[in-house]
Amino acid sequence: MKLPIDLQFLRRPFERRTPPGSAPGTAAKPEEEVASRMHLVAFGPEDFQETVIENAAEVREYLGSYDVTWIHVHGLGNTAQLRQLADMFDLHPLVYEDILHPHQRAKAEEYGDYAFIVVRMVELEPHLDTRQLSMVVGDNFVLSIEEASSQDRLEPVRERLRKRVGRIRQMNSDYLSYALMDSVIDHYFPVVESFGDRLDTLDDPLAAGYTNDIIPQIQKISSDLLTIRRNLLPHREAIRNMMGARFTRYTDNTTVFLRDADDHTSQLLDAIDAYRQICSDMRDFHFALTSQRANEVTKTLTIIATVFIPLSFIAGVYGMNFNDMPGLKWEWGYEFAWLMMISIAGGMLAWFYNRGWFKG
């Protein structure tokens, strides 16, 4: 049996590299040596500029000139550039610390000049995990920093910007940050659905009933769904927080879209609950089936054994070596012994049958 436990998680619950008691805002250099890549998109309804940048200082020339400047950093390896960006946008040390320690729960916080949003990108390969996307949303910029991952969740948004799909080029930085968040949440859908597909492949072996490791597989699915649930739930809190009256960065125009993201989260949570219910049903079915079969085996074998025990006893009696045993010399003795044995066996079977032990 394969062990249905996510050892990955066991080894690295928190991405902490600073000792306990460090000054808040202390940000240790991440172990992973993925060099940060920086990508910049600047746009307005009519303008569009996209470029890869090497030095954070290049950002300044776009900031005032376009309605929205989106700086995206992929990978946490280049702390020098990150530090420079943090200084440029005057980030609070706690924000900077959270960006560099990518084990934060999804959340939305307002600081004076910007909002700080954390979402988690789900991925199935090489094993179920989530990666942090941090966003700093100012009046005319979005700074997004992504924990290195092989899967690009944000390319669809770039495409919409390039091709001017929908309203995104007309809208401000708050809408852009919503669009990024929405894209991240959208990518939970195929992940959750894949668990349905995996459950679907289990129903035939389950009905056949002989697969030993089906329970660990179901349990692994149920446990993974719970992990997704635990990661997803804070997104809903964050979204509702952003929609609330006390969170001022998101305009009414964008709030309507946040309500849609809220819907998506609820739908995902509903589907996760439904799948977990199916896991639980499958487990119950498996145990009902195997217990029924075990009963069948035990009952059959016990009945066979029990019927033969008195017969063997009779044979044993007639095998005793007494000099003078009645019947042994009788002409029909042997036939009588068989008659007795057959009667006893038949009587026992009839009695068992009457008591209903052969049914069900």
By CB under 5 A, the residues from 195 to 234 that bind Mg ion are 200, 203-204
Supply the minimum distance, in Å, between the C-beta of residue 87 and Mg ion: 19
Supply the minimum distance, in Å, between the C-beta of residue 130 and Mg ion: 6
Stretch 30-89 residues interacting with a second copy (CB under 8 A): none
String marking each residue 194-213 x if it binds a second copy according to CB under 8 A:
--xx-xx--x--xx-xxxx-
Q: Specify the stretch interacting with Mg ion by CB under 5 A; choose among 35-43, 163-171, 256-264, 285-293.
A: 256-264
- Chain-centroid distance, C-alpha 26: 31
Q: How far is CA 241 from CA 90, 131, 236, in A?
A: 23, 22, 8
- Among 277, 250, 316, smallest CA distance to 108 is for 250
Nearer CB in complex with Mg ion: 78/265: 265
Q: Let me know the angle formed at the C-alpha of 74 by 115 and 191, rounded to the nearest 5 degrees.
A: 85
Based on the shown chain and the rule CB under 8 A, indicate whether residue 13 belongs to the binding site for a second copy.
yes
Q: Which entry of Mg ion, a second copy, none binds 247, CB below 5 to 8 A by partner kind?
A: Mg ion
String marking each residue 10-29 x if it binds Mg ion according to CB under 5 A:
--------------x-----
Nearer CB in complex with a second copy: 80/304: 304
Residue 238, exposed/middle/buried by CB under 10 A (0-12, 13-18, 19+)?
buried
Based on the shown chain and the rule CB under 8 A, indicate whether residue 9 belongs to the binding site for a second copy.
yes
Based on the shown chain and the rule CB under 5 A, indicate whether residue 186 belongs to the binding site for Mg ion.
yes
Alpha-carbon distance of 30 to 250, in angstroms, equals 32
Q: Which entry of a second copy, Mg ion, none binds 38, CB below 5 to 8 A by partner kind?
A: none
Q: 238, 117 in Cβ contact below 8 A?
A: yes
Alpha-carbon distance of 186 to 156, in angstroms, equals 11
The residue with tokens 């997104």 is: 235
- Chain-centroid distance, C-alpha 104: 17
Stretch 268-297 residues interacting with Mg ion (CB under 5 A): none
Tokens encoding 327: 């019947």
Interface residues toward Mg ion, by CB under 5 A? 24, 98, 182, 186, 200, 203-204, 247, 250, 260, 263
